[in-house]
Structure 1
Amino acid sequence: MNHDVSGLTQLGRPVRAPQTPEEAVLERVPNPHPGTAYLVRFAAPEFTSLCPLTAQPDFAHLVIDYVPGDWLVESKSLKLYLSSFRNHGAFHEACTLDIAKRLVAELSPQWLRIGGYWYPRGGMPIDVFWQTGAPPQGVWIPDQGVPPYRGRG
């Protein structure tokens, strides 16, 4: 089993938060079970970015599910990458798909899906969903567990 983490630059040491998604470094580690189809889930219930027109903050609950290939994303680097959107102006759709496509480019997973459950802007929540294709057979993929937005009533 390959546990080589010698190439990691962020894990186990203080790291300055990246100021932009482009500046953020996503790191990966070898999958300890290559050839086994299993699901990895990351939930980011307090994701923030900025509206590109008003610069007001936008908030989302992101759920990222993927079936690894040869690589896993290193979680600290993912947290730092997601935090780099705090000062980034982009529409909900752009943020959600940019995150998913960057993960696909870095990891080459067997399958990936993202659910971006955005809190209301102008009184209307916007949910954004994307996946790379059909999930592999035999993998248990639970519901993302984020209830539909409900107002005060």
Structure 2
Amino acid sequence: MTTIYDNLTQLGGKTELPASPEDAVLERVFNPQAEVAYCVRFTAPEFTSLCPMTGQPDFAHLVIDYVPGGWLVESKSLKLYLGAFRNHGAFHEDCTVSIARRLADFLEPQWLRIGGYWYPRGGIPIDVFYQTGPVPNGVWVPDQGVPGYRGRG
């Protein structure tokens, strides 16, 4: 018997962290509730990447909201994709927008937004926001709940 989960390759066993975001394999499954408009939220409060100039680590609290269309992202593949940024050098803006665009292209959601709340370096926090368009009518999308910088806690 076939299921919507048959094409998944990363669940059920040990999976190595990809060497780079480009090497990461995102996986998706058919959305069994595609006729319903609802919001899905993923929160990554310990996201890390590297400064492309100094090689020093950068830290962010990412909040990804999307209203699925026909596809759902498989969460382990998303975790591995986000983890692949640990050794990736890029500015905050590039990391945040690249994640959003790859997910939007891959999932073809009705709507997607990302909030990248970056911890300060040199005393300046950088927050980066991206969304694909207006929120679909009738969908409840809560506030992302990340306060303006005061220790981000």
For the criterion TM > 0.5, the same-fold answer is yes
Runs of 4+ in 1 over 4 A off after TM superposition: none
The answer to whether 1:50 aligns with 2:46 is no
Q: What is the alpha-carbon distance in structure 1 between the residues aligned to residue 40 and residue 137 of structure 2? A: 15
Give 1:5 deviation, angstroms.
0.7
Judge conservation of contact 1:52–1:89 (CA < 8 Å) in 2. Answer: yes
Aligned to 2:99: 99
Judge conservation of contact 1:3–1:30 (CA < 8 Å) in 2. Answer: no
Q: What is the alpha-carbon distance in structure 2 between the residues aligned to residue 50 and residue 23 of structure 1? A: 17
Judge conservation of contact 1:66–1:111 (CA < 8 Å) in 2. Answer: yes
Give 1:3 deviation, angstroms.
4.4
The answer to whether 1:71 aligns with 2:71 is yes
Q: What is the alpha-carbon distance in structure 2 between the residues aligned to residue 6 and residue 96 of structure 1? A: 30
Task: Give the TM-score normalised by the residue count of structure 2.
Answer: 0.96
Task: Give the TM-score normalised by the residue count of structure 1.
Answer: 0.96
Q: What is the alpha-carbon distance in structure 1 between the residues aligned to residue 4 and residue 67 of structure 2? A: 20
Q: What is the alpha-carbon distance in structure 2 between the residues aligned to residue 34 and residue 14 of structure 1? A: 30
3-state SS in 2 of match to 1:41 = strand
Counterpart of 1:59 in structure 2: which amino acid? F
3-state SS in 2 of match to 1:124 = coil
Alignment of 1:35-46 (within 5 A): 35-46=35-46
Residue identity over aligned pairs, in percent, reads 73
Aligned to 1:34: 34
Runs of 5+ unmatched residues, structure 2: none
